[in-house]
Chain A
Amino acid sequence: MLATRALSLIGKRAISTSVCVRGGHGVAKVEDYALPNLSAEQKSLKEKEKGSWVALSNEEKIALYRISFKQSFAEMNQGSGEWKSVVGGVFFFIGFTGLVVLWQRKYECSIEHIFCVYGPVPHTFEGDYKEKELQRMLDMRMGPVQGFSAHWDYENKQWKK
């Protein structure tokens, strides 16, 4: 029944426009939101609701609200505290990564070759070679404007303060 009705609509261009005229597919219709099954007490309360609302006590008003809505505004808006677990988890894994990095550095072996994570570095990384390199960069005036040599005081042979 539904299938033939649906198929008969296929040839018609009016499908989408008629939906929009009827309010569109996003419109909430009363038929979509039925009340839950009510107990006898709740049914009698619903009957009482049809009369004057002044006659309802506060507890009855709250009970009527609870029939239609699961949470109050306060309950709906309260935070869950989930963010604390998320942040805690993030810190934990970052800490774990830090431990892995520390372990790698301890066993990286630049000079000895016992338990290597990284291979040996070239001899140009040794202390006195690096000093000569630095001196050569200053002698050749590398970056004299704002870069490297600009921070060296050539008269007093020290870094500028």
Chain B
Amino acid sequence: MAHPSQLGFQDAASPVMEELLHFHDHALMIVFLISTLVLYIIVAMVTTKLTNKFILDSQEIEIIWTLLPAIILILIALPSLRILYLMDEINDPHLTIKAMGHRWYWSYEYTDYEDLGFDSYMIPTQDLAPGQFRLLETDHRMVVPVESPIRILISAEDVLHSWAVPSLGVKMDAVPGRLNQTAFIASRPGVFYGQCSEICGANHSFMPIVVEAVPLEHFENWSSLMLEDA
């Protein structure tokens, strides 16, 4: 989760998110360079005493300020497309999970081996244990094995929702009547928080997502326990 007053991205918990962080650094550096240049030109134009009322055209500068932006755009597009195609690589997932958006909670189904399904409701503020994070904790977490490619199929039962976990670099709309697929690998164990990212009604801000990445053994224990409880 983000710490208070955090401005930048959360630390990456998946390889794709790491790539996105580096790309963001690259694109933001270009943005800062262009903004600094434009600011300098504005200040120079405003404070100069030189005037020339008879300029009509200038081929050289027109060529420069056409070619240079085209080159800059290519420099941005190439890493961007690389990551786009990287996200679509064949990744042979170890596990497939279905995340269904409802008003106003998520439900997860692990149906590869057994029929495991459960709902994940936000813990209301007055029911929080001391130290739990307000508006982010849920009663049941989506537990996944660490360092395993996970395929997640996202849909909705009523209105549009969106399943998003920033530190995993995942956001996918949950569209009723449609099955959206995305994948991720949790590179480190931990708990990763996210929130519903498509307006879905009164409690849109109160249906968070919690993904817990644990070693495979712990995952197997957890899924046996969950099956017993169900």
Contact = CB atoms under 8 A, between A and B. Distances in A.
Given A122-B125, A124-B125, A124-B128, A142 B134 contact: no
Q: How large is the interface on A (under 10, 10 to 19, 20 to 34, 35 or more residues)?
A: 20 to 34
- Residue from A122, A123, A133, A142 whose CB has the most chain B CB atoms within 10 Å: A142
Contacts of A132: 130-131
Contacts of A147: 3, 6, 10-11
Contacts of B200: none
A21 interface: no
Contacts of B83: none
Nearest to B126: A123
21 contacts: A122-B134, A124-B128, A129-B130, A129-B131, A133-B131, A133-B132, A133-B133, A136-B132, A140-B191, A142-B1, A142-B3, A143-B3, A143-B10, A143-B11, A144-B188, A144-B190, A145-B11, A145-B12, A147-B10, A148-B3, A150-B11
Q: How large is the interface on B (under 10, 10 to 19, 20 to 34, 35 or more residues)?
A: 10 to 19
A146 interface: yes
Interface of B: 1, 3, 6, 10-12, 125-126, 128, 130-134, 188, 190-191
A38 to B, nearest CB: 31
Contacts of B125: 122-124
A81 B132 CA distance: 58
